[in-house]
A and B are shown apart, each in its own frame.
Chain A
Amino acid sequence: MSERMYENIQENIRKNPGGRPEKNTGENRREGSDLLLAVRNLSVAFPGGKREATVVDTISFSLRTGEVLGIVGESGSGKSMTALALMGLLKKGAVRSADAILFDGKDLNRVSAEEYRDIRGRSMAMIFQEPMTSLNPVYTVGNQVEEMLKLHAHLSKEERKQKTIQAFEEAGIRDSAEVWGKYPHQLSGGQRQRVMIAMAMICEPKLLIADEPTTALDVTIQARILALIKKLNREHGTAVILISHDLGVIRNICDRTLVMYQGKIVERGSIEEIFSNPKENYTRTLLDAVPGIHKRDDAKAAGAYGTAAAEYRDILVSVRDLTVAYKGNKEGLFGRRRVTEAVSHIDFDIYKGEILGLVGESGCGKSTTAKAIAGLIDSYTGTITPDNRKPQMVFQDPYGSLNPCKTIGWILEEPLKMQGMKRAVDRVAKAKELLAEVGLPVEYAARYPRDLSGGQRQRVAIAAALITGPQLLILDEPVSALDVTVQAQILDLLQRIRRQHNLTYLFISHDMNVIYQICDRVCVMTQGTIVETAAPRELIANPKHEYTRQLLASVPE
């Protein structure tokens, strides 16, 4: 924002302390007409309490009407807090302070609670990361979208329904009249996010804040949702603030971007500037950390890691005709169980020493396959040889997978106890050895999972999987919940450990970029079957199956 503009805003505030919109005098109108949002020295802090912290630290930025602004940074950088502060939706205990937050002619610092409520939803709307939980489970989605119209428009019941169905259509929901009467749990993640978008857009807000709108979705759906946001932006002139940890997503649809780190804006500029000529070290780290099939000169990706599949000849695990069917709950005392096949007649081999990738959308059966191999599912048909394999698993969620009541030391020692290692001294020694191995200080043995960051917890999970000395490690989306910079560190760690211990990995992911970076071979799964198996490079250069092509096409550039 130019100094001139800012002075205009200041002038505006002085003239207009109540923050009410003023009939525009000519000068202001011409100069600031396309300025929608101007934030000056915004801070968010949690004062008092155990963890006194400033999570957003005096940031200033502005946004023009119809512009798409990206805010990028890792979790904890303050980007979501910035969004919630703009919406006035900060949690209890958080304190917002700012010299001015000018939005659409009003200073949000000075509006009454009632005025703020009216702005929320009507002229400023937000969509959230978690489409699975952001909708109220006990009302139909039609009902929930219509609530926006009840709050902000005066329409009859019939008009509301018509308009809602229209909004659904515009958000790309097929069978919109039918979806209108459905409950959130009856819709897929992508559909729910479309409902959220329809809800946010139905009052034609001037500003749409999208907080990680595609993070929880599969890549193919991710691309479509981003395209939808871009389309709505173009057609309605809605300004968008897109928050993401994923530079690929930001690059896809934003005009300008801010890079946030520890509550501060460390860099800002147009997309071209940031990507071609990053000035800050942090931005560069962020860019480097993005694993990418689109990086042309990425020697690290396939060169150092990827080894030709031909090197591996000894079969470690052989899967033949594997089918896993889930039985649904019985309905009442005499009901039948519904049976669904999650995995249907698949064959593949895992060679000793390789990293075999299993890629596909959620629900395609990749986790079920992994569980069957790990011995966590008994009711499969087909054969998995040898039978006496003892693979260990590392799961996606580093928060939920570790027992919160036990120390890290206890968690690491437990598998040893079960293996029959009787002497506590031996167990402690082994646990410490493993901690050091995964790059954590040995003192961490006395800490609890809550004291650790996501990346550190995932290191603990890896250590716990390694402690019994398995040959095969099954990694189920091990880095999906982590920030890109941490993601790269964990992938490095996995590579190092594999070389040192001669391990074999079955690596499950929905993220083609990660798969490309780490795997020797990839199996592409969809709807319970493997449709293609190839080396990652070959897969990208020459995808044979239609679904693989879809998957690759949807990877953000």
Chain B
Amino acid sequence: MKYLVKKLITLIITLLLVSCAAFIAFQVIPGDSVTLALGTDFTEEAAEQMREELGLNRSIPARFADWMAGAVRGDFGTSSQYKQPVSQLIADRLPVTIWLAVLSMLMITVISVPLGILAAKSSGGILDRMITLITQITMAIPPFFLGIILTLVCGILLSWFTPGKYVAPDKDFSAFLHYMIFPAMAVSIPKIAMVVKFLRGSVLRQLSLDYVRTARSKGNKESAVLVRHVLKNALIPVVTFLAMVTADVLAGSIIIEQVFNLPGLGRLLVVSISNRDFAVVQAIILYIAFVVVLINFLVDLLYRWLDPRVE
């Protein structure tokens, strides 16, 4: 309980610092939403009037305090570009990003854990070398290129899906899932390669330790030694990496969303930054910080379960 309270306080402080930094960053970068919104209609008077309407002519601390007061109540303001409440904008796009993350993480864990163990088990053998070669190649492919290849091979050549034809989850959920498999593949393939490589090394390191010899001396089968004794130990460093990947994917995969025409958070973020849509950017940044802190917390819990030496 004490631990939870501590974590909660840490979370609040982190969010406060992050939003503060984002706020300041937005004051520093050139260009503002008013100029962009007015476009060719720009006159000094019109800009002044619009600033007045949006409350942009007040001092920075006052505006920050205002924004904070809203944020605490769950009101993140209105987007200057979409003229919609920010919370609505994000709520619309969040499911896409979350589903993409869930599918990718599933693929990553289900595929890379057995492959990593297999590679370590046959270390130096033909299977190991093949796995190493494949992971080496897939790791080197940039995500956008992988997206294009997947679109070309699975979409156009094999017709497993219609490129660009995204279906919203509330319209047809199974069609949505079917479409999402491919961007999830594009996200997970390079990460799978990394996890396999990482896990292989970790398992090999564990295999050289004394407790493995003890496990064998008890009369365990080699498979039992690997799965029961080595895996839990070997996963400890890998979990940190998986957590980083999860946070990364949950923050929105900007490039993959672009390639597969997904209305996710990553795209919203890019568009909002270029339009100086401060309210949206600020909210997304808060969301990302929240996700990172939350995942760190979950990893902490997972660590305690995996490694009893962690206090």
Contact = CB atoms under 8 A, between A and B. Distances in A.
Interface of A: 87, 89, 117-122, 125-126, 128, 130, 133-140, 147-148, 151-152, 183, 185, 196, 199, 331-335
B201 to A, nearest CB: 17
B277 to A, nearest CB: 34
B213 A89 contact: yes
Contact of A133 (B7, B211, B215, B311): B211
A130 B311 CA distance: 24
A268 B229 CA distance: 39
Interface in B195-237: 209-211, 213-221, 229, 232-233, 236
Residue in B13, B211, B306, B309 whose Cβ sees the most chain A Cβ within 10 Å: B211
B210 A128 contact: yes
A202 to B, nearest CB: 10
B9 A134 contact: no
Given A121-B218, A136-B215, A185 B309 contact: yes
A151 B213 contact: no
Interface residues of B, number: 27
A170 B216 CA distance: 24
A120 B216 contact: yes
Contacts of B307: 137-138
Contacts of A89: 213, 216-217
B84 interface: no
B211 A119 contact: no
A203 to B, nearest CB: 9
Contact of B219 (A119, A140, A332, A334): A119
B73 interface: no
Contacts of B306: 138
B171 interface: no
B218 A120 contact: yes
Nearest to B13: A333
A134 B214 contact: yes
Nearest to A333: B10
Contacts of B210: 128, 130, 133-134
Contact of A120 (B7, B209, B217): B217
Given A137-B308, A333-B6, A334-B6, A120 B219 contact: yes
A87 B217 contact: yes
A121 B229 CA distance: 16
A121 B308 contact: no
A193 to B, nearest CB: 12
B44 to A, nearest CB: 48
Given A133-B209, A183-B309, A334 B214 contact: no
A2 B213 CA distance: 35
B216 to A, nearest CB: 6
A138 B308 contact: yes
A122 B219 contact: yes
A332 B211 contact: no
Nearest to B7: A332
A137 B13 CA distance: 35
Nearest to A132: B210
Contacts of B232: 138-139
Contact of B214 (A117, A118, A128): A128
A152 B219 contact: yes
Given A117-B220, A134-B213, A136-B211, A332 B6 contact: yes
A147 B236 CA distance: 22
Interface in B25-57: none
Nearest to B307: A138
The 4 closest A-B pairs by CB, nearest first: A121-B219, A120-B219, A133-B210, A121-B218
B209 A118 contact: no
Contacts of A183: 308-309
B217 A137 contact: no
Nearest to B214: A134
Given A136-B233, A137-B233, A331 B219 contact: no
A334 B3 CA distance: 10
A307 to B, nearest CB: 43
B219 A117 contact: yes
